[in-house]
Amino acid sequence: MAAEASFDIVSKVDRQEVDNALNQAAKEIAQRYDFKGTGASIAWSGPDIVMTASTADRVKAVLDVFETKLVRRKVSLKSLDAGEPRQAGKEFRIEAHLKQGLGQDAAKQIAKLVRDRGPRGVKASITGDEIRVTSKSRDHLQEVIQLLRGEDLDVALQFVNYR
């Protein structure tokens, strides 16, 4: 009898990569001529990232630089939840939050997708903020991974513990 193969679906962000991207963005903002005299900055504020500048356009440009650095470091932009620019005194701010873990709604949506459109004999079970997918065939698990990569979901997915 063949043993069951499995993998876990998670949504986690490597905080070190985000920190490196933030440091690179801060260095570029300090050196670029178009940011001179605008008070543009980007920094951690607890678990969130705060971007500031003197105008709404400049703070959006700071966000664009940061997103570019995240993409270069292979961090999905789906894991970054950035708000709209809002005025705080004389400066404009954008607060961005990193999304960690699968929410209950997203986990249910993914499990339903695996049940409905995945190969027969594949089971998906939700445990906390991750989903365990099991099957007797490794090929079926590969098909599930391809199916989920092809879907346009609101969360960044990683596939770990493939056994």
Cα–Cα separations (whole angstroms), residue 132 to 19, 53, 85, 141, 161: 29, 44, 38, 11, 9
Average pLDDT (143-149) is 92
pLDDT at 155 > cutoff 50: yes
Q: 1: pLDDT confidence band, cut at 50, 70 and 90?
A: very low
Please give the domain boundaries of the chain with CATH numbers for all domains. 5-12+102-160 (3.30.70.860), 15-98 (3.30.70.990)
Q: 7: pLDDT confidence band, cut at 50, 70 and 90?
A: very high
* pLDDT tens digit sequence for 58-90: 999 999 999 999 999 999 999 999 999 999 889
* pLDDT tens digit sequence for 105-138: 999 999 999 999 988 889 999 988 899 999 999 9
Average pLDDT (86-99) is 93
Q: Do the beta carbons of residue 16 and residue 70 sit within 8 Å?
A: no
- Take residue 54 and report the two structure tokens written for it: 């003197």
* pLDDT tens digit sequence for 43-63: 999 899 999 999 999 999 999
Phi/psi zone of residue 112: left (φ > 0), alpha (ψ -120 to 50 degrees), beta? alpha
Q: Do the beta carbons of residue 115 and residue 87 sit within 8 Å?
A: no
- What are φ and ψ of residue 144, in 5° steps? -65, -40
Look at 28 and 163; give whichever has higher pLDDT: 28
- Take residue 62 and report the two structure tokens written for it: 């700071």
Cα–Cα separations (whole angstroms), residue 110 to 16, 34, 123, 125, 146: 27, 43, 12, 10, 13
| Average pLDDT along the chain | 92
Residues 6+ apart with CB under 8 A from 116: none
